[in-house]
Amino acid sequence: MVVTRTHSIETSGQGDTQDLGRIVAQDLARSNLTAGIVTIAVIGSTAGMTTIEFEPGAVSDLNRLFEMLAPRDGEYRHHLRWGDDNGSSHVRAALIGPSITIPFVDRALCLGTWQQIVLLEFDTQARQREIVVQMVGE
């Protein structure tokens, strides 16, 4: 069986990281599925999805890494083509990817104690993000 839910999440712009664990766990509980996989995806080309220990130090470290890999004030051909400022956003999102898939057993997500599902906002402005949670199982 496949069960799909969508959610609208407001973000504050580049560097905003949001814990989606509670949303995904609630969707799973409502699905009546006991075992399978859940895919969590963000719609758009300037955001990403991953897992991390969701605490200020780890989030800060991750954002610092992105600033080293794809600096916001770097030179991007995207800026020249479109006259905007979010070239770093597209590069960062491409590095992480738009979705993750996590197994679940006995109606519980298979995550480590300090592992949370997070949405990473890379765009340079606040955004309204659509999140799709799709569960496949029995």
pLDDT digits over 50-107, tens only?
999 999 999 999 999 999 999 999 999 988 888 889 999 999 999 999 999 999 999 9
d(CA 112, CA 81): 43
- pLDDT value of residue 79: 85
- pLDDT value of residue 78: 87
Q: Which residue has the tokens 């995904």?
A: 24
For the chain, the structural domain boundaries read 2-137
pTM of the model: 0.95
Instruction: Give every CB contact of residue 105 below 8 A, 6+ residues apart in sequence.
Output: 34, 35
Instruction: Give every CB contact of residue 35 below 8 A, 6+ residues apart in sequence.
Output: 103, 104, 105, 106, 137, 138
Instruction: Kindly report the CATH number that applies to the domain delimited by 2-137.
Output: 2.60.120.460
